[in-house]
């Protein structure tokens, strides 16, 4: 990318043919051609350049989805980016492109709960074994590698518990053993960390979150290097996992302000984190304390921190924690995150998933905050008034 990240987002993909700043929405199931020769030439072009947007059927996409893929490929500095109907669609596409019956995969213990259910439960039915490793002890990864290991799946930081891992060691292990590596990079996006450039084979981002930024779109992206492109392309074609043109348009529009929004999310999160870190009842799960392992691992690999953080709350009374969350007036209570608004979620067992290595004490509770674009002083004041319920 010759221009800076910020400048590129503002000037890419202008449509001078239609004289529009953002490319128009092109919806199509049937792609029409002038002749048999025309369709054959298009198919030949697609064989020569499978990333070039040469389509003969609407399931493969339209010019609208192609524009988004090209933008994301530049941002990711990847060979190609596939787009899917949901963020989890990208998780599914990545895994099922690689694993086959008899294979084994190794997954970081604190992954997104649906990812855990997919790998631990559903893959078992296809005779694929999943082994979970401790993000704080990579020997648990190394010692479980066998000739059957085909994939290492990382989520960084860990979902809800926010463990930051030593990514260079993981990549070293993967490359040494010739194993495909995948990372879920939704928390950071390529604005703060570029996994493909770093050495991962695949990078997942839920476009539902920061890419869209307005809590009204579902989508996912899967960036890949050349090594795995053909396998992912074949799986995408046969499964039909393709983002709609309307959602592609909205995500493209949202990307124009990705840098501005993430800068503000980060700035606000730091101010809220500074307040939370001083409260005895809270253990902040965010790269804030400079002497902590989390901070060191974050600082080693990332250019910034997004607005998602966790709180470990010490309380003998579960109902008081729920009252605390319910008393928040500026934090919405709902799933997902990455939009302009602040959100809070009390993490029950089904949200965190059945972890092997994360142990909460009897009187510890997890609450997740997404710090939005509001005035941070107002957010801090809101947390203060809700704390009266904590016992």
d(CA 51, CA 265): 33
**Which pLDDT band holds residue 348 (cuts at 50, 70, 90)?**
confident
Which residues face 106 on adjacent strands? 131, 152
User: Across residues 311-324, what is the average pLDDT?
Assistant: 92
User: Across residues 135-145, what is the average pLDDT?
Assistant: 96
d(CA 37, CA 20): 32
Q: What are the residue ranges of CATH 3.40.640.10 in the chain? A: 5-255
**Which pLDDT band holds residue 2 (cuts at 50, 70, 90)?**
low
pLDDT, tens digit (0-9, with 9 covering 90-100), for 87-124:
999 999 999 999 999 999 999 999 999 999 999 999 99
How does 138-174 read in b/e, with b if 16+ C-beta sit within 10 Å? bebbbeebeeebbbbbbbbbbbbbbbbbbbeebbebb
**Which pLDDT band holds residue 137 (cuts at 50, 70, 90)?**
very high
Mean pLDDT of the chain: 93
**Residue 73, number of CB atoms within 10 A of its CB:** 20
Comparing 287 with 22, the larger pLDDT belongs to 287
Give the CATH number of domain 258-389; options: 3.20.20.70, 3.10.20.30, 3.30.470.10, 3.90.1150.10.
3.90.1150.10
**Which pLDDT band holds residue 245 (cuts at 50, 70, 90)?**
very high
d(CA 86, CA 375): 30
> Nearest Cα to 313, choosing from 340, 270, 345, 291?
345
Answer yes or no: are the C-beta atoms of 105 and 111 closer than 8 Å.
Answer: no
Q: What are the residue ranges of CATH 3.90.1150.10 in the chain? A: 258-389
pLDDT at position 350, please?
64
Comparing 56 with 331, the larger pLDDT belongs to 331
pLDDT, tens digit (0-9, with 9 covering 90-100), for 264-310:
999 999 999 999 999 988 999 999 988 899 999 999 999 999 999 99
> Nearest Cα to 367, choosing from 254, 276, 234, 297?
276
**Which pLDDT band holds residue 24 (cuts at 50, 70, 90)?**
confident
CA–CA–CA angle 262, 268, 271 (5° rounding): 145
Is pTM beyond 0.85 here?
yes
| DSSP H or E stretch at residue 312 | strand 308-314
CA dihedral of 12, 13, 14, 15, whole degrees rounded to 10 = 170
Using the structure block, give the residue that is written with the tokens 């649906």: 114
Percent of the residues in the chain that have a pLDDT greater than 70, as a whole number:
97
Comparing 20 with 352, the larger pLDDT belongs to 20
User: Across residues 72-77, what is the average pLDDT?
Assistant: 97
Exposed / middle / buried, residue 344 (Cβ in 10 Å: 0-12, 13-18, 19+): buried
d(CA 344, CA 336): 10
pLDDT, tens digit (0-9, with 9 covering 90-100), for 175-210:
999 999 999 999 999 999 999 999 999 999 999 999
Q: Per mean pLDDT, which range of 36-40, 167-171, 218-222 is the poorest?
A: 36-40
pLDDT at position 349, please?
65
Comparing 272 with 45, the larger pLDDT belongs to 272
pLDDT at position 16, please?
64
Looking at the predicted structure, is the pLDDT value of residue 263 above 70?
yes
How far lies 368's CA from each of 257, 286, 312, in Å?
A: 25, 11, 9
pLDDT at position 358, please?
82
Give the CATH number of domain 5-255; options: 3.20.190.10, 3.40.640.10, 3.10.105.10, 3.30.360.10.
3.40.640.10
**Which pLDDT band holds residue 17 (cuts at 50, 70, 90)?**
low
How is residue 192 written in tokens?
A: 């703060």
How is residue 193 written in tokens?
A: 């960390």
Q: Per mean pLDDT, which range of 12-21, 208-217, 231-240, 263-272 is the poorest?
A: 12-21
């Amino acid at each position: 990318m010759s221009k800076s990240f910020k400048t590129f987002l503002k000037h890419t993909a202008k449509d001078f043919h239609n004289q529009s700043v953002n490319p128009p929405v092109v919806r199509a199931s049937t792609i029409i051609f002038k002749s048999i020769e025309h369709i054959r030439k298009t198919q030949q072009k697609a064989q020569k350049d499978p990333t070039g947007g040469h389509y003969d059927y609407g399931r493969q996409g339209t010019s609208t989805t192609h524009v988004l893929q090209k933008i994301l490929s530049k941002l990711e500095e990847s060979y190609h980016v596939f787009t899917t109907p949901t963020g989890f669609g990208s998780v599914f596409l990545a895994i099922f492109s690689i694993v086959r019956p008899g294979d084994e995969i190794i997954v970081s213990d604190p992954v997104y709960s649906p990812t855990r259910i997919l790998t631990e439960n559903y893959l078992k039915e296809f005779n694929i074994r999943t082994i979970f490793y401790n993000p704080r002890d990579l020997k648990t990864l190394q010692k479980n590698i066998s000739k059957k290991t085909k994939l290492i799946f990382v989520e960084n930081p860990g979902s809800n518990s926010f463990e930051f891992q030593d990514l260079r060691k993981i990549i070293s292990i993967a490359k040494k053993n010739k194993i495909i590596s995948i990372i879920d990079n939704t928390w950071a996006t390529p604005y703060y960390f570029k996994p493909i450039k770093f050495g991962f084979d695949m990078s997942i981002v839920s476009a539902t979150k920061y890419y869209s930024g307005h809590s009204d779109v579902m989508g996912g992206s899967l960036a890949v290097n050349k090594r795995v492109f053909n396998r992912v392309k074949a799986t995408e074609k046969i499964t039909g996992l393709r983002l709609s043109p309307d959602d592609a348009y909205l995500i493209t529009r949202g990307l124009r302000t990705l840098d501005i929004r993430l800068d503000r999310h980060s700035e606000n999160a730091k101010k809220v984190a500074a307040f939370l870190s001083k409260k005895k009842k809270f253990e902040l799960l965010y790269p804030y304390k400079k002497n902590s392992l989390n901070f060191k691992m974050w600082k080693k690999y990332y250019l910034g921190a997004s607005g998602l953080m966790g709180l470990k709350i010490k309380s003998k009374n579960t109902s008081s924690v729920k009252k605390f969350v319910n008393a928040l007036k500026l934090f919405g209570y709902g799933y997902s995150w990455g939009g302009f608004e602040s959100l809070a979620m009390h993490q029950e067992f089904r949200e965190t998933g059945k972890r092997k290595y994360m142990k909460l004490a009897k009187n510890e509770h997890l609450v997740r905050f997404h710090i939005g674009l509001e005035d941070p002083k107002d957010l801090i004041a809101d947390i203060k008034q809700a704390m009266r319920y904590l016992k």
